[in-house]
Structure 1
Amino acid sequence: MSLGRLALLTVVAMIAFASNSLLCRVALRETDIDAASFTTVRLLSGALMLWMMLVIRGQQRNHSGSWPSALALFAYAALFSFAYIDLAAGTGALILFGSVQATMIGYGLYTGERFTGLKWLGLFLALAGLVGLVLPGLTAPPLAASLLMAAAGFAWGVYSLRGKGAGDPSLATAGNFIRSIPFALMLLALGWAAGMLNADLPGTLWAVASGALASALGYWIWYTALPHLSATNAATVQLSAPVIAAIAGVLLLDEVLSLRLLLASAAILGGIALVIQQRAR
């Protein structure tokens, strides 16, 4: 794959991730849909979208995806939704992407990747920028919700790492989403038994958009790029997603464009550039 195509796919995937964060925030904060229903609708709509695309392209999904990857996908989606019930957006983003990065970089170091001095500098700069972006809004987060979001980050890191050897990205992503449906239905059944289910039309529509567009298509693109990225580069580049989400909040949600946002964005994107450009020894 050419460097230009890889860069384009990665950018589009990060935009999808950021869009997914915005859609989840709107649905869980401003509508009546509950976390279990949102997660189920998100995964169901994502599976349907990918299945339809495979049918249109005439592809068979036999032997595609895997149950461990599907479980990791479901765990990320469910834990993410439940964590955001009690976490502030900035706190949640910091915990989620910190956990993702720790998982993927830890795996990279475990399997023999080595950092140059500039690569360590880039990683530190990116992390410092992310902390600078969310720190002013941080409060003491609830321990249970923080652990849920950290677990969601771990699950997403595992899902991303497994995507590096998953074969055809379209088949793998579709297979994983379809395999996640039984887990989502079990979660919905538990929510119904506990009397916690609640949904409205706006929340359901946001969940459909999150699943069919930002999740299904975004993960498909991400799985296409992953085999050509090292674990550390894949982990670090995902730090751009909170920046993109913050900028989108300014443009779409009328949030204030501050000097802090500009400086933090420059630090994160500059750090990512250093990590990607420096080859591991």
Structure 2
Amino acid sequence: MSPWRLWLAVTLTMVAFAANSLLCRIALTQSSIDAASFTLLRLVSGALMLSLLVLMRRRPLAGHGSWQSALALFGYAAAFSFAYLALATGSGALLLFGAVQATMIGVGLYRGERLGTGQWLGLMLALGGVVVLLLPGITAPPLASALLMLLAGACWGCYSLWGRAATDPLAASAGNFLKALLPALLLALWLMPSLRVDALGVVCAIASGALASGLGYALWYRVLPALKATVAATVQLSVPLLAALGGLLLGEGLSWRLVLAACAILGGIGLVIRARASA
């Protein structure tokens, strides 16, 4: 793959990841679909798209994925949807990304990894940004929704860590999406009286699952081997920023609190990545 095609693919992937936040927010604020239905439809369409891509490669679907990863995937998708009932697009994406990175760093520390001075400074700066974002005030996001998004990030961080051992990431993702349909269906059945769908909500859910998630993950797995680990981690810093810019299309302004928190969180994570690369 030529350099310009590589970076075009990377750009499209980051836009797809950011689009998940925007599509979910549009569905839950501008349509009548509920969060449980959005979650189920997103996972169904993602499972179908990933399964189709695996079958097109003439690979078997059976035997891939794990229930551990599937439950983490479901936890992420469900908490993500319910959090966006009240969170702005940019705030939600920022909290999600910060929680993902914090989870992965925390697991590394638990396993005996040691952080240098620069990494500790970056981690403290990022955590300070989360605190700034969540401090009480007019522009603070609702605490319950913020905690749900932090939970979604923790689930995705675990999902990412467990997925590193997969020999075929695309097939593993397809298997995990298929297995995650069971808890998603159980959640929908439990909330059956409050389920609602409409055309716009269904379109957004399918686009989020099949395009932003399914095709987005497939494209990311294709370009990932061509990127250094630090470059792959660094380019993902753009996702919350792209989501926040997308939120402007929905009339969501950029508060000084959000800008300051974004600088602290993304800057802190950037320091951790840079220090790790130097080490």
Paired residues for 1:47-196 under 5 Å: 47-124=47-124, 138-139=139-140, 141-143=142-144, 145-192=145-192, 195-196=193-194
Q: 1:212 and 1:142 mapped to 2: Cα distance?
A: 30
1:234-281 CA-partner distances (Å, limit 9, x unpaired) = 87765532112112334x446667898888766666555443333375
Partner of 2:245: 247
1:55-95 CA-partner distances (Å, limit 9, x unpaired) = 22211122111111111111111111122223444553454
**Runs of 5+ in structure 2 lacking a partner?**
none
Q: 1:137 and 1:219 mapped to 2: Cα distance?
A: 36
Relative to structure 1, the CA distance from residue 65 to residue 223 in structure 2 (aligned partners, 3 Å threshold; closer, same or farther) is farther
Q: 1:146 and 1:266 mapped to 2: Cα distance?
A: 18
Relative to structure 1, the CA distance from residue 109 to residue 220 in structure 2 (aligned partners, 3 Å threshold; closer, same or farther) is farther
Q: 1:190 and 1:255 mapped to 2: Cα distance?
A: 32
Q: 2:6 and 2:154 mapped to 1: Cα distance?
A: 24
Residue 164 of structure 1: how far off its partner (Å)? 1.1
1:137-173 CA-partner distances (Å, limit 9, x unpaired) = 6336243x34332322221111111111122111111
Partner of 2:198: 200
Q: 1:191 and 1:258 mapped to 2: Cα distance?
A: 35
Relative to structure 1, the CA distance from residue 133 to residue 223 in structure 2 (aligned partners, 3 Å threshold; closer, same or farther) is farther
Question: CA contact under 8 A between 2:139 and 2:255: conserved in structure 1?
Answer: no
Residue 115 of structure 1: how far off its partner (Å)? 2.4
Task: Provide the secondary structure at the position in 2 that maps to 1:156.
Answer: helix
Q: 2:125 and 2:73 mapped to 1: Cα distance?
A: 29
Relative to structure 1, the CA distance from residue 17 to residue 259 in structure 2 (aligned partners, 3 Å threshold; closer, same or farther) is same
Relative to structure 1, the CA distance from residue 167 to residue 6 in structure 2 (aligned partners, 3 Å threshold; closer, same or farther) is farther
Amino acid at match of 1:246: A
Partner of 2:217: 219
Relative to structure 1, the CA distance from residue 106 to residue 198 in structure 2 (aligned partners, 3 Å threshold; closer, same or farther) is same
Task: Provide the secondary structure at the position in 2 that maps to 1:85.
Answer: coil
Stretch deviating more after TM superposition (93-102 or 132-141): 132-141
Q: 1:155 and 1:33 mapped to 2: Cα distance?
A: 24
Q: 1:168 and 1:100 mapped to 2: Cα distance?
A: 22
Candidates 267, 277, 281, aligned match of 2:274: 277
Q: 1:149 and 1:69 mapped to 2: Cα distance?
A: 18
| Count of residue pairs the alignment pairs up | 276
Stretch deviating more after TM superposition (91-100 or 122-131): 122-131
Q: 2:24 and 2:6 mapped to 1: Cα distance?
A: 27
Q: 1:161 and 1:265 mapped to 2: Cα distance?
A: 24
CA RMSD of aligned residues (A): 3.8
Stretch deviating more after TM superposition (77-86 or 116-125): 116-125
Residue 221 of structure 1: how far off its partner (Å)? 4.4
1:32-53 CA-partner distances (Å, limit 9, x unpaired) = 0011110011000001111111
Q: 2:118 and 2:47 mapped to 1: Cα distance?
A: 41
Q: 2:108 and 2:5 mapped to 1: Cα distance?
A: 24
Whether 2:35 is the aligned partner of 1:18: answer no
Task: Provide the secondary structure at the position in 2 that maps to 1:41.
Answer: helix
Matched residues, percent identical? 55
Relative to structure 1, the CA distance from residue 209 to residue 263 in structure 2 (aligned partners, 3 Å threshold; closer, same or farther) is same
**Runs of 5+ in structure 1 lacking a partner?**
none
Relative to structure 1, the CA distance from residue 16 to residue 121 in structure 2 (aligned partners, 3 Å threshold; closer, same or farther) is farther
Q: 2:103 and 2:15 mapped to 1: Cα distance?
A: 22
